[in-house]
C-alpha cells in the first residue's frame, strides 16, 4: 500500500515538474507564436493620406512630421493637390464619385462642406466630437457654422482667411494708405514703376475661385451681393453693377500686370515679394511670405490694412479651409486623430508660426509665440479686415454658382460683354441653378 501511495505521489510530482518546466521554458511553439503575434500587433502602423492644396510655406509638412512623431502607430502622408481651389474641388469630386479609398483626410474650402455633406462624400464628426468632449466653443463660430449642415458638423475649421490690403511701408506711409477704391486707383497709378516696382497693384483675376472672392469684395463694398439672406438672387442691382465696373476698371488698368487674368495667389504674392508692386490684395499668409528672408526682397517693409471702401464701406471675402474625413476612408478612427491634431491648437499654432495662417481658435491670437512671428494679428488693420468679412453664397451646389460668376466676370474683364450684361446673365443662370 505504501509503495502504491509513493508511486502515485511520484507521478503527481513529475507531472507538476513538467508543467512548470513548460511554463518557464522559451521553447514552446505556441508561446513563441503568441509572443510574435503580440509584437506584430503592437508594431502595426496605420497609414493615412492627407490631401490638400499646394503649401509653399511647408507648414503642412511640419504638422505632419510632428503628428507622426507623437503618434507612432499612425503615420500620415501628404498628398499635395494643385494650388487652384477649383482644380482641387474637381479632383476630389472625381475621386469620391469613384469611391476612392486612397484619401483619408481632406482639406475643404470654406464653401464646400454643404455640397460634400449633401453628396455623401464626408463623414459627420459629431460622434467623434462627443466621444472626446471637444469644445467647439473654443473656435470662431462663423468658421464652425460654415462646416455645419442639416444639424451636423462635417469638418473642423483649420484656418480663417479674409481679403486684406498689404502695402510697402518704404513706399507708402501710414497716412497715405488708400481708404477708398478711388484712392487706391489714384495711388497705384502714382507709384507704378516707382522705387524699383513694375506695377502699382496686384490681385487675383484668373478665372477661378479667387476671382469670385475679388468680385465679391468690390460688389459688397458698393452695397451689392449675389444672394440675400433668404437665398434670393439679387446680383442684378445698381450697387453690384457699380462694384463690378470698378473691378473691371482696375483689372484693365496700366498699373496691374498685362497678364493679370493669369494671376492666382501664387503669381501675385511672388511678384509682391520680389518688390514689383507697392500694393497687393491677398490673404493673411502674405505677411509670413513677405517677411521670409529666404524668399522675400521686402522683409520688414510690410504694412496691412482693410481693403478699400466703396459707397457702402469695406468688404472682404471670408475664406479659410476646413479638415474633413472621407466617407471612404478605411481608418476613420485614426483619421479623426489627425483631424483633431491639425485643426486643434497644436496644429493651428504651427500653421500660424510657420505658415502665417490665421487661427480659427481665437485664443491663439493672444499666444506670444504666434504674435512674435505674426505681429499683424494684433494690428488694428488686420482686426478691421476680419470684421469686414462677407460670406460667399452658402448653397449646396456652390461649385455651379461659382462657375457662373467666374465665367461672367471673366467675360466682362475681357471686354466680351458689358458689366450690365454680365450681371443679367448671372441673375438668369443662378436662378435656374437654385430653382428660383
Q: Structural domain boundaries of the chain?
A: 46-160+319-390, 162-318+391-434
Decide if 82 contacts 208 (C-beta within 8 A). no
162-318+391-434: same fold as 46-160+319-390? Answer: yes
Q: Return the CATH number of the domain spanning residue range 162-318+391-434.
A: 3.40.190.10
- CA Rg, the chain, in Å? 29
Cell 484668373, residue located = 206
Cell of 398: 456652390
Q: Which CATH architecture has domain 46-160+319-390?
A: 3-Layer(aba) Sandwich (3.40)
- Each residue's pLDDT tens digit in the chain (436 positions)? 444 444 444 444 444 444 344 444 444 333 334 444 444 445 699 999 999 998 888 899 999 999 999 999 999 999 999 888 889 999 999 999 999 999 999 999 999 998 999 999 999 999 999 999 999 999 988 889 889 888 999 999 999 989 999 999 999 998 899 999 999 999 999 999 999 999 999 999 999 999 999 999 999 999 999 999 888 999 999 999 999 999 999 999 999 999 999 999 999 999 999 999 999 999 989 998 999 999 999 999 999 999 999 999 999 998 899 999 999 999 999 999 999 999 999 999 999 999 989 999 999 999 999 999 998 898 888 888 877 888 888 888 998 999 999 999 999 999 999 999 999 999 999 999 999 7
DSSP 3-state of 58 = coil
Cell of 86: 477649383
Tell me, what DSSP letter sits at residue 326? B
| CA pair distance 38, 166, nearest whole angstrom | 57
Of the candidates 278, 265, 255, the one whose C-alpha atom is nearest the C-alpha of residue 213 is: 265
Of the candidates 154, 83, 144, the one whose C-alpha atom is nearest the C-alpha of residue 123 is: 154
Q: Ramachandran region of residue 425, left (φ > 0), alpha (ψ -120 to 50) or beta?
A: alpha
Amino acid at each position: 500500500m505504501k509503495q502504491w501511495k509513493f508511486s502515485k505521489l511520484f507521478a503527481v510530482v513529475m507531472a507538476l515538474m513538467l508543467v512548470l518546466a513548460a511554463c518557464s521554458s522559451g521553447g514552446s511553439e505556441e508561446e513563441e507564436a503568441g509572443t510574435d503575434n503580440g509584437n506584430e500587433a503592437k508594431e502595426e502602423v496605420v497609414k493615412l493620406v492627407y490631401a490638400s492644396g499646394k503649401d509653399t510655406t511647408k507648414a503642412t509638412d511640419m504638422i505632419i512630421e510632428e503628428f507622426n512623431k507623437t503618434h507612432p502607430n499612425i503615420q500620415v502622408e501628404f498628398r499635395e493637390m494643385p494650388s487652384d481651389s477649383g482644380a482641387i474641388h474637381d479632383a476630389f469630386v472625381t475621386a469620391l464619385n469613384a469611391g476612392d479609398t486612397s484619401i483619408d483626410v481632406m482639406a475643404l474650402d470654406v464653401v464646400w462642406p454643404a455640397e460634400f455633406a449633401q453628396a455623401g462624400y464626408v463623414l459627420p464628426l459629431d460622434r467623434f466630437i462627443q466621444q472626446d468632449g471637444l469644445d467647439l466653443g473654443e473656435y470662431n463660430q462663423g468658421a464652425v457654422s460654415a462646416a455645419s449642415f442639416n444639424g451636423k458638423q462635417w469638418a473642423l475649421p483649420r484656418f480663417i482667411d479674409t481679403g486684406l490690403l498689404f502695402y510697402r511701408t518704404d513706399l507708402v506711409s501710414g497716412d497715405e494708405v488708400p481708404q477708398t477704391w478711388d484712392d487706391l486707383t489714384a495711388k497705384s497709378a502714382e507709384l507704378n514703376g516707382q522705387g524699383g516696382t513694375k506695377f502699382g497693384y496686384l490681385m487675383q483675376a484668373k478665372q477661378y475661385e479667387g476671382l469670385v472672392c475679388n468680385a465679391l469684395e468690390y460688389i459688397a463694398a458698393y452695397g451689392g451681393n449675389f444672394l440675400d439672406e433668404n437665398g434670393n438672387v439679387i446680383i442684378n442691382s445698381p450697387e453690384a453693377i457699380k462694384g463690378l465696373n470698378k473691378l473691371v476698371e482696375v483689372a484693365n488698368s496700366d498699373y496691374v500686370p498685362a497678364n493679370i487674368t493669369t494671376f492666382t495667389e501664387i503669381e501675385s504674392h511672388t511678384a509682391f515679394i520680389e518688390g514689383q508692386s507697392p500694393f497687393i490684395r491677398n490673404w493673411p499668409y502674405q505677411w509670413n511670405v513677405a517677411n521670409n528672408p529666404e524668399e522675400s526682397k521686402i522683409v520688414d517693409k510690410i504694412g496691412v490694412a482693410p481693403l478699400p471702401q466703396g459707397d457702402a464701406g469695406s468688404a472682404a471675402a471670408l475664406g479659410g479651409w476646413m479638415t474633413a474625413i472621407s466617407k471612404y476612408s478605411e481608418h476613420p478612427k485614426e483619421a479623426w486623430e489627425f483631424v483633431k491634431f491639425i485643426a486643434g491648437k497644436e496644429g493651428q499654432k504651427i500653421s500660424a508660426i510657420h505658415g502665417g495662417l490665421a487661427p480659427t481658435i481665437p485664443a491663439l491670437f493672444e499666444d506670444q509665440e504666434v504674435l512674435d512671428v505674426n505681429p499683424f494679428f494684433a494690428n488694428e488693420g488686420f482686426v478691421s479686415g476680419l470684421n469686414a468679412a462677407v460670406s460667399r453664397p452658402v448653397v449646396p451646389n456652390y461649385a455651379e454658382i461659382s462657375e457662373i460668376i467666374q465665367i461672367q466676370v471673366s467675360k466682362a474683364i475681357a471686354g466680351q460683354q458689358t458689366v450690365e450684361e454680365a450681371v443679367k446673365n448671372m441673375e438668369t443662370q443662378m436662378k435656374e441653378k437654385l430653382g428660383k
